[in-house]
Amino acid sequence: MASVISDELPTAFDVACSERLERFMEEASPLETADEQLKRQQILAALAAIFQDWVRSVCLSKGLTADVADRAGGQVYTSGSYRLGINEKGMDIDTICVAPRHVTREDFFDSLKVILEDHDSVENLSSIESAVVPIITFDFDSVNIDLLFASLPVDAVPRDFDINDDNVLRGADVGSEKSLNGPRATNMIERLVPSFDSFIRVLRCVRLWAKRRGLYSNKMGYFGGINCNILTAFVCQLYPRAAPSLLLERFFFILRDWKWPTVSRAGSATTAAQAALPSSEAAPQRMRFREQPIMLTPPYDAGLGLEVWDPQIGNNRFHSMPILTPAYPSMNSSMSVSRGTLEVIRAEMSIAHDKVHASSFSCVGTPPTQTARPARQMRAILETRRGDGWEDLFEPTDFVVAHQKYIACEIYVSDFPNKQAQAEALRAWSGCACPCASLLRYRFAPPCLIRAL
């Protein structure tokens, strides 16, 4: 866990700012109703039933006895923001199907895919079988589902199967290992944050900010959900008892100037607390320390022969913005970030921090060591600063009108027998082509800017 910078309790003003931030978020990014949350739970239950019935049928088709097929089980786990309980309207659900050794990835794409395609509640299904982490994505009763698959070298995956145990990865292939990293990392993030309620409140703000500023797309070299989760948890570790409004300000303050690893720097590794100090306080230390990635807990080797992220191995030292997943084997969750997109992210974080200070909550940016204001002064501030201004922080990007020249990339398919096949091919081709299209920016000098809109 990162070293704590300050564990002071929030001031009354911090609490008031946080309450106003919460009211803003209720309107800007509304949560689902109880009925909508129940619908998601029912969809997951239906999906789990489909998966378990399918696992049993595959086992029987391969000549296994009915007793073995009944015990094979199979479980569906969730990860990411839904697993953390964000519960925002329109969110997709990241799911991972875990099956025993008798069921293979080929079975997953050959027969389960067909079952889903024929299901009355499933629409817009597409699959990417050749990806590093193969995936089927579809809408189930209008809720988007990303479905991953893991086959483990065990005879059964019962209801009480513990995917948090490192030994479940023993003998797993690369695709299964990476698929399982999602729920394993999410579960560990939940355990590592000191105040889960504050973490969720700040995370919702970070997600909304990234989406509105065109920074929410891992494919385009920006943030994905896992990156937002880890970065927010990291700042919460540094200020374990801070109010959400202060945590949000610290998020931009710390990360805008974070010294990411470089290829050539001498010295020993700095601690997270030293790296997070303001420039004026940390300048002497930073000259003596090697910059480091963001991590919630030190990576470790469980002895299973899996590769743990290490800056000295392969091309890891060239990663621009390493944000390490906390679960074994630790890996960089932001490999798609380039030096160009990193500069955009840092510039946007600097703008965001300036907007926080320019808002009516300017006192949020004061150092954690500041003493509490007298009650009379507090009331005077609250009277003159009524909380308007958070909308400036979440203002949508002007990227689409800020430049003189743009490149448009049109993606289309043709020569398919029917509209359904054409639509499926277009979704699959778009998912493949978008990351490739983002690489076009490197063909220009200077490289062109790109946003996730």
The pLDDT tens digits for 299-335 are 999 999 999 999 888 888 889 999 999 999 999 999 9
SS3 122: strand
In single-letter form, the type of residue at position 150 comes to A
Asked: is 34-188 a CATH 3.30.460.10 domain? The reply is yes
Residue with tokens 């629409």: 123
The whole-number average pLDDT for the span 32-39 is: 96
Dist. CA 180–CA 187, nearest whole Å: 11
The whole-number average pLDDT for the span 207-227 is: 93
pLDDT at 448: 58
Dist. CA 335–CA 310, nearest whole Å: 13
Confidence label for 77 from pLDDT (cuts 50, 70 and 90): very high
The secondary structure of the chain in percent helix, strand, coil, rounded to multiples of 5, reads 50, 10, 40
The whole-number average pLDDT for the span 8-18 is: 89
Dist. CA 74–CA 154, nearest whole Å: 11
Dist. CA 359–CA 368, nearest whole Å: 19
Instruction: Please give the DSSP secondary-structure letter assigned to residue 370.
Output: P
Looking at 235-244, 246-255, 386-395, which range is the least confident one?
386-395
Dist. CA 289–CA 54, nearest whole Å: 54
Assess whether pLDDT exceeds 60 at residue 162: yes
Confidence label for 363 from pLDDT (cuts 50, 70 and 90): very low
The whole-number average pLDDT for the span 170-177 is: 94
CATH no. for 12-30+193-393: 1.10.1410.10
SS3 402: helix
pLDDT at 275: 52
Instruction: Please give the DSSP secondary-structure letter assigned to residue 168.
Output: G
Assess whether pLDDT exceeds 50 at residue 218: yes
* Start and end residues for every CATH 3.30.460.10 domain found in the chain: 34-188
pLDDT at 348: 95
* Start and end residues for every CATH 1.10.1410.10 domain found in the chain: 12-30+193-393
The pLDDT tens digits for 192-213 are 999 999 999 999 999 999 999 9
- HSE (CB half, 13 Å, CA atoms) of 271? 9
Assess whether pLDDT exceeds 90 at residue 93: yes
pTM for the model: 0.85
The pLDDT tens digits for 134-161 are 999 999 999 999 999 999 999 999 999 9
Mean pLDDT of all residues in the chain? Answer: 84
Cα angle at 329 between 168 and 253, to 5 degrees?
A: 135
